[in-house]
Amino acid sequence: MDFVIRNCNNIDTGSIQIVKGKLNIKFGVNGTGKSTIAKAIKYSIEAPEKLTELLPFKLRKIETELVPEVEKSEEISSVFIFNEEYLNQFLYRQDELISNSFEIFIKTPNYLLSLEKIEELLVGIKNVFTLNAELNQIIKDFESLSNSFVITKSGISKKSAIYKGLEDGNKIEHIPEHLKGYSTFLKNSNCTSWLDWQIKGEAFVDISDDCPYCTSSTVEKKETIKSVAKTYDKNVIKNFSAIIEAIKNLGDYFSDDTKNTLEIITKKHSGLEDPEINFLVFVKQQIDDLLQKLKDLRDISPKSFKEVENVRDKITNLKININLFDRFKSDKSVTIVNSLNDSLDEVLDKVGLLQGEISRQKQQTRKLIEQHQNGINSFLENAGYKYVVEITDEQSEDYKLRLRHIESVEKISGGNQHLSFGEKNAFALVLFMYEALSKDPDLIILDDPISSFDKNKKYAIMHMLFRMDVCLKNRSVLMLTHDLEPVIDTVKVLQEFHNLTVAKFLSSKNGILSEKAITRNNILTFSQICNNVLLTDVDEIIKLIYLRRKLETIDDKGDGYEVLSNLFHKRTHVECRDFRKDPEDDLMDDATFIRGIELIIESIPTFNYGATLVKISNDEVVKDLYNLTENGYLKLQLFRLLYENSLKGKDSILQKFVNETYHIENELICQLDPIEFDLIPSSIIEKCNIHILTH
């Protein structure tokens, strides 16, 4: 799977290859364009129009036909990327670590297949609601009626909408004599809007003798207008009208006696009496019971059986005994209830299959929870984090990933205020992996995922990502990094990674991006690298540089090291110093000098101190060697011979880089051969080149 990238930030052109089903590590120094590669791939797949964001700054200043573009493999149509953007948008919710825990950890293809089978067995119940559209309206009207009643120990709360609407009788049916002139408006279906308008106008009655509605004389009408506001409460009328409408809609579902009694009560001229209140309370109880039955049937799903052990009992208990709902014993109610009960009988005929599927789903869920909890907690323990996670469904229909400190039994609400920056990054990476497994993209990109962690945590993260039972192994993964440790681990040290990993070195020179394979033979100890150089035919000065660096790795560096140090500081034989002696008496004696020369000759037989000193002291000779050398690492060593002293206080960055690259204490035990893999940033070499030309 190849990608060709053109005109994206610092990359003028370049191509990278990704091997399908493997961990593809691209190792490169900072500034190579690793993040640009990740963005270019992501944009080319998800949002090609966003590629314009990667236009190099040098092209933004001029008119050009060059535009960012990516040629991508047709095998890749989806990508999921872990980068700084993912970290920044990663939010720890108040009651869980990640917002879509259920989709990530539980909602697997097998889980969905099990859901589908259970849904098929319940489809008959769903069809009753589908084929009887009015059932949903019945539930809505039942809810409206139920909400209008608030039951207390003494009956109906006086704050209930139905009590307020009937407190002084039905004022819509029985309009006071002095307000009869408003009958048409009060009995209109939109009477609440009229009342609102009328009552607002009443506030202006006393401003003048003119009517606030029509500007005619209002002397005789004032009291009538004010009486409307006193007699009718807009909100009470609105709520009571909704109750009357719901009772009307449910008329065919009430028994004849109930319907007649409700009509008498709701049209009363006076307030409610105790027997009427008792009647309404009983109706309310039956409404609530029947409403719950209907809602349980309407909303039936696999979740309905989450806490159920005996499915047959659950289905049987869902059946409606119409004899227990005498207030609703009408022909229409009986027909609906019979159709629902018949659908439940059909399910009971296949209850064995349903019980089996539900049991399998529960078993799958328990296994997934245990597997994911163990995996994440194993990582947290290996990495030294004092937290554990639990996947729980308490007080929720869905499962949530919760966090707990090992020294507490309480689950943590949220994570931002408790977790350190490193812990947040680690959790984000863990959850990214599980989210990637859930999304199952064609390509997973990890943009420098572990460089900020210490060695122990790096190992724990790599183990979690690629060595656990549930991990990214055998998936197409692109890891972009400036950290050599994962390359050493996967390519050289850990045997199980050898056939799963393809590692390459990224380099970028003059806008040209290229990559070079890294094999286990390329990862050498520093001693091996030095010995290999000594066996080549490179210039003797370069051999001496590597011999000195090799001797630096030895506890007792010896006389040879002291002689080479004096040589590189351009001292004559008589000026040589032995820095192992006291500063007051550190001149090197002849015996030490001779032993040092002999040790050097063992590795470089042609060595002659005097002749080599002449070469090193001749800046033009060293400059010529610098210009002939293409490798940045060797250029840096030669540059130091020329300008070590003259750089002091002038270019601290360049001086620091030159000195640190020159000394062994900054090297790893294992590394890439710096001659074969040019690890020096081009910006440093450019500084050296400028210095060479100007001095």
Flag whether 421 is in a domain.
Answer: no
Q: How far apart are CA 105 and CA 371, in angstroms?
A: 10
Confidence of residue 615 (pLDDT cuts 50, 70, 90): very high
Triad 375, 379, 383: Cα angle to 5°? 175
The whole-number pLDDT of residue 69 equals 92
Flag whether 393 is in a domain.
Answer: no
Q: Which of 480, 487, 509 has the alpha carbon at shortest distance from 678? A: 509
Higher pLDDT, 154 or 261: 261
Confidence of residue 72 (pLDDT cuts 50, 70, 90): confident
Same domain, 268 and 230: yes
List pLDDT tens digits, range 570-598: 999 999 999 889 988 999 999 999 999 99
The whole-number pLDDT of residue 413 equals 67
Q: Which of 592, 548, 598 has the alpha carbon at shortest distance from 568? A: 548
Place of tokens 């350190």: 420
Q: What is the DSSP string of 402-467?
A: EEEETT-SSEES-STTTS-HHHHHHHHHHHHHHHHHHH--SEEEEES-STTS-HHHHHHHHHHHHT
The last residue of a domain, from among 457, 487, 518: 518
Which pTM was predicted? Answer: 0.68
The whole-number pLDDT of residue 620 equals 92
Q: Cβ(79)–Cβ(85) under 8 Å?
A: no
Domain count, the chain: 3
Same domain, 222 and 130: yes
Cα first-last separation, the chain: 48
The whole-number pLDDT of residue 460 equals 83
Flag whether 392 is in a domain.
Answer: no
List pLDDT tens digits, range 647-678: 665 555 666 666 655 444 444 456 677 777 77
The whole-number pLDDT of residue 95 equals 63
Spell out the SS3 assignment of 273-301: CHHHHHHHHHHHHHHHHHHHHHHHHHCCC
The whole-number pLDDT of residue 111 equals 85
Mean pLDDT computed over 32-55: 92
Q: Which structure tokens are listed for 467?
A: 């060595």
Same domain, 511 and 555: no
Q: Of the ranges 321-330, 506-515, 520-529, which one carries the lowest mean pLDDT score?
A: 520-529
What domain range includes position 676?
Answer: 525-694
Flag whether 622 is in a domain.
Answer: yes
The whole-number pLDDT of residue 63 equals 83
Mean of the per-residue pLDDT values of the chain: 84
Mean pLDDT computed over 73-93: 79
Confidence of residue 175 (pLDDT cuts 50, 70, 90): confident
Flag whether 397 is in a domain.
Answer: no
The whole-number pLDDT of residue 661 equals 53
**547: Cβ–Cβ under 8 A, 6 or more apart, which residues?**
530, 534, 560, 564, 600, 603, 604
Give the single-character DSSP code of 23: E
Q: Is 575 helix (H, G, I), strand (E, B) or coil?
A: helix
List pLDDT tens digits, range 202-222: 777 677 766 766 666 666 667
The last residue of a domain, from among 518, 534, 555: 518
> What percent of the residues of the chain are helix, what percent strand, and what percent coil, each to the nearest 5?
55, 10, 30
Would you say residue 395 has pLDDT above 60? no
Q: Are strands 443-447 and 79-82 parallel, antiparallel or unpaired?
A: parallel
Mean pLDDT computed over 190-213: 72
Q: Give the phi and the psi of residue 668 in degrees, each rounded to 5.
A: -85, 160
List pLDDT tens digits, range 278-316: 988 898 899 899 999 999 999 888 888 888 889 999 999
The whole-number pLDDT of residue 90 equals 56
Query: Residue 495, Cα to own-chain centre: how many angstroms?
Result: 31
Q: What is the CATH number of the domain that holds 483?
A: 3.40.50.300
CA-CA distances (angstroms) from residue 378 to 30, 39, 409, 549?
A: 32, 32, 18, 42
Percent of the chain whose predicted confidence (pLDDT) is above 90: 32
Q: What is the DSSP string of 245-259?
A: HHHHHTGGGS-HHHH
